[in-house]
Amino acid sequence: MQTDMLRQFVIDKIEELKGRDIRVLDVHEKTDVADLMIVCSGNSKTHVKSIAEHVATEAKHAGMPPLGVEGGEQSEWVLVDLGDVVVHVMQETTRDFYQLEKLWDL
């Protein structure tokens, strides 16, 4: 799946579970790890975990199994690595603390 299609796929899956404040960061010139980072917020640990699991499960069903999923135990910040797109699902306080948008959107 091309990066643009994968971006929209991930956004759709986040929106299905009411993820908030979705931001897409183009990082292809800043790192070789991914082309895009998608950051969103969940209302609670359970919500964060559910959003991340939904994205990972739906990607697997679409033939794009995640390269990895990290942070599910604590669920304050769960990362889903889909190769060209890395998804960060965070609780609001964790997102405010780390400010990934400022870090990567230089």
Which residues have C-beta within 8 Å of that of residue 72, sequence separation ≥ 6?
49, 52, 53, 78
DSSP 21: E
**Tens-digit pLDDT profile for residues 4-62:** 899 999 999 999 999 999 999 999 988 888 999 999 999 999 999 999 999 999 999 99
Which of 82, 14, 12, 7 has the alpha carbon at shortest distance from 51? 14
Count helices and strands in the chain by DSSP H and E runs: 4, 5
**Tens-digit pLDDT profile for residues 13-25:** 999 999 999 999 9
**CATH number attached to the domain at 3-104:** 3.30.460.10
